């Protein structure tokens, strides 16, 4: 068998697994989407209406004269991507703790196909959930100033960030003992990192220690790139930093997940 045949089979198997995971997603529709859409929407409502008045006032120059919702939504969209981590980790864990993965392992199936299917569908889910949340934001008065090229960049960041988080969540799902445990492991990604970044307020307003963390963690450049694109501000080097983080997280998650997958064969 040539390398090309091997590659063709790997692509075919990954497509098969992607189709399988897509069916799972449609069958668990409510479970997967309600969590990944509802939480960001509640956050959006909470921060825009309840806390937004005070925060918007305090923001002053940081919002560059725009309403708080325009500052908030780019961060909420990244939080939406992060909320998808739970579904990925839970689904991977469910596969790994069930008997089906042993069946796949005893078949001549490309080793990476199962994970590739999970990651591929995670990205698709993120595109759907962020679109829905963007729709809700528009109804609530969000007014993006992005050009067509900017929108392309927005989609690119959603894809890159969800791809990176999907590999990391897949690894977390591998090492978790149960679905509940898998969900728990993604909580820092879903909540801690968004809050300790400039998602809701600029990092520059935080106390020194937290501020240092917020400014150097991956969420920050991702959120700021999104914000720049959606508010029509110059993006600058932040986008490169964001993409570098996405690449690093994806690579680390991929290597970790792959190691965890083959650890099962001892």
Site size toward another protein (CB under 8 A) is: 23
Task: Please report whether residue 98 would count as binding another protein according to CB under 8 A.
Answer: yes
Q: What count of other Cβ atoms lies within 10 Å of the Cβ of residue 109?
A: 18
Nearer CB in complex with another protein: 2/265: 265
Q: Is 118 in the site for another protein (CB under 8 A)?
A: no
150 binds another protein (CB under 8 A): no
- Binding-site member from 61, 65, 99, 234 for another protein (CB under 8 A): 99
For the segment 1-20, give every residue that binds another protein (CB under 8 A).
9, 12-13, 16, 19-20
Choices 22-30, 186-194, 214-222, 226-234 (CB under 8 A): range interacting with another protein: 22-30
210 touches another protein by CB under 8 A: no
Question: Could you say whether residue 102 binds another protein (CB under 8 A)?
Answer: yes
* Chain center to CA of 62: 25
* Site of tokens 């001549």: 108
Residue among 89 and 214 whose Cβ is closer to another protein: 89
Using rule CB under 8 A, residue 104 touches another protein: yes
Q: Does 266 bind another protein (CB under 8 A)?
A: yes
Owner of token pair 């963007």 = 134
If you write DSSP's letter for every residue of 186-246 in order, what string do you get?
HHIIIIIHHHTTTTTS-GGGS-HHHHHHHHHSTHHHHHHHHHHHHHT---TTHHHHHHHHH
Residues constituting the chain: 266
Which pair of tokens denotes residue 151? 């929108």
106 binding another protein? (CB under 8 A):
yes
Q: Are 115 and 170 in contact (CB under 8 A)?
A: yes
Closest approach of Cβ 192 to another protein, in Å? 31
CA distance readout (Å), 141 to 54, 69, 175, 264 = 18, 7, 42, 50
- Measure the CA–CA gap between 225 and 236, rounded to whole angstroms: 8
User: Rounded CA gap, 77 and 133, in Å?
Assistant: 7
What's the CA gap between 259 and 264, in Å, rounded? 9
According to CB under 8 A, which residues from 26 to 65 bind another protein?
Answer: 27-28
- If one asks whether residue 24 binds another protein (CB under 8 A), the answer comes out as yes
Cβ proximity to another protein: between 75 and 173 the closer is: 173
Stretch that binds another protein, among 46-54, 101-109, 192-200, 221-229 (CB under 8 A): 101-109
Calpha distance 136→1 (Å, rounded): 51
Using the rule CB under 8 A, give the single segment among 21-29, 48-56, 132-140, 187-195 that binds another protein: 21-29
- Summarize as ranges the residues that interact with another protein (CB under 8 A): 9, 12-13, 16, 19-20, 23-24, 27-28, 98-100, 102-109, 265-266
């Amino acid at each position: 068998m040539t390398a090309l045949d091997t590659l063709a089979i790997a692509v075919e198997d990954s497509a098969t697994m992607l189709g399988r995971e897509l069916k799972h997603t449609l069958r668990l529709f409510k479970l997967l989407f309600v969590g990944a859409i509802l939480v960001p929407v509640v956050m959006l409502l909470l921060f825009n209406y309840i806390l937004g008045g005070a925060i918007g006032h305090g923001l002053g120059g940081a919002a560059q004269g725009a309403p708080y919702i325009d500052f908030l939504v780019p961060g909420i969209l990244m939080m939406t991507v992060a909320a998808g981590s739970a579904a990925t980790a839970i689904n991977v864990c469910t596969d790994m703790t069930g008997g089906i993965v042993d069946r796949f392992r005893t078949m001549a199936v490309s080793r990476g196909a199962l994970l590739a299917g999970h990651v591929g569908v995670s990205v698709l889910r993120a595109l759907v959930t962020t679109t829905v949340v963007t729709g809700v934001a528009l109804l609530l008065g969000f007014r993006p100033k992005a050009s067509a090229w900017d929108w392309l960049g927005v989609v690119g960041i959603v894809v890159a960030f969800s791809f990176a988080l999907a590999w990391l969540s897949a690894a977390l799902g591998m090492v978790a003992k149960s679905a509940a445990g898998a969900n728990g492991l993604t909580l820092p990604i879903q909540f801690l990192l968004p809050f300790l970044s400039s998602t809701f307020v600029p990092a520059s307003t935080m106390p020194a220690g937290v501020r240092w963390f917020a400014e150097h963690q991956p969420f920050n450049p991702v959120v700021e790139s999104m914000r720049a694109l959606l508010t029509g501000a110059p993006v600058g080097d932040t986008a490169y930093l964001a993409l570098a983080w996405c690449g690093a997280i994806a690579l680390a998650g991929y290597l970790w997940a792959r190691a965890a997958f083959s650890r099962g064969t001892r």
